[in-house]
Amino acid sequence: MEHNEWIGKFMGIVSMLLFIVANAYYPARLVANKYRPWPFVIAAFFNKYFNIHMWLNVGAFVFMSISTYYTDNRNTFLYVSMLVTALLTLTGFLKYLKRFSSDTKKQLRLLYSQQTILACWLVLLLCGKL
């Protein structure tokens, strides 16, 4: 295996693991929402995990970009999935900053409709790898 290909594969695996750990936030929150009101400990956990979720996703995007640069497996589906990942990362980071008016936040929420875009992202990755 060529050195650059090894770097690309390693960065891709790290990126995937970071995305999985970061985005476990959503299923955990969906399950926890069924048991509201939360005790203080649970609310504090989700506030802390939200920050971890955001920074792990930014890190995963960086590793994904490095992986894309070094790997030879490139096609249209993977490039589009990279653009979708960039969109999700950017809109998530802008939501995290909390420096916008309520109208702008509403537009960001519409742009960042997580479940629909996540499903499209997974389909693009599968089509790109198969």
For 2-16, the pLDDT digits (tens) are 777 888 888 888 888
Q: How far apart are the first and last CA of the chain?
A: 21
How far is residue 107's CA from residue 20's CA, in Å, rounded to a whole number?
A: 26
Please compute the mean of the pLDDT values over residues 35-50 and round it to a whole number.
88
How far is residue 106's CA from residue 103's CA, in Å, rounded to a whole number?
A: 5
If one compares 67 and 113, the residue with the highest pLDDT of the two is 67
How far is residue 56's CA from residue 17's CA, in Å, rounded to a whole number?
A: 10
Element housing 79 (H / E): helix 76-97
CA distances (Å), 47 to each of 10, 29, 101, in order?
Answer: 31, 11, 21
If one compares 55 and 126, the residue with the highest pLDDT of the two is 55
CA distances (Å), 97 to each of 46, 51, 56, 115, in order?
Answer: 17, 11, 16, 21
Burial 65-101, CB ≥16 within 10 A → b, else e: bbbbebbeeeeebbebbbebbeebbebbebbeeeeee
If one compares 12 and 129, the residue with the highest pLDDT of the two is 12
Res. 33: pLDDT tops 70: yes
The pTM for the full model equals 0.74
Res. 27: pLDDT tops 70: yes
Res. 41: pLDDT tops 80: yes
If one compares 1 and 124, the residue with the highest pLDDT of the two is 124
Res. 130: pLDDT tops 70: no
Question: Which among 6, 28, 16, 30 has a CA at the least distance from the CA of 85?
Answer: 16
Res. 36: pLDDT tops 80: yes
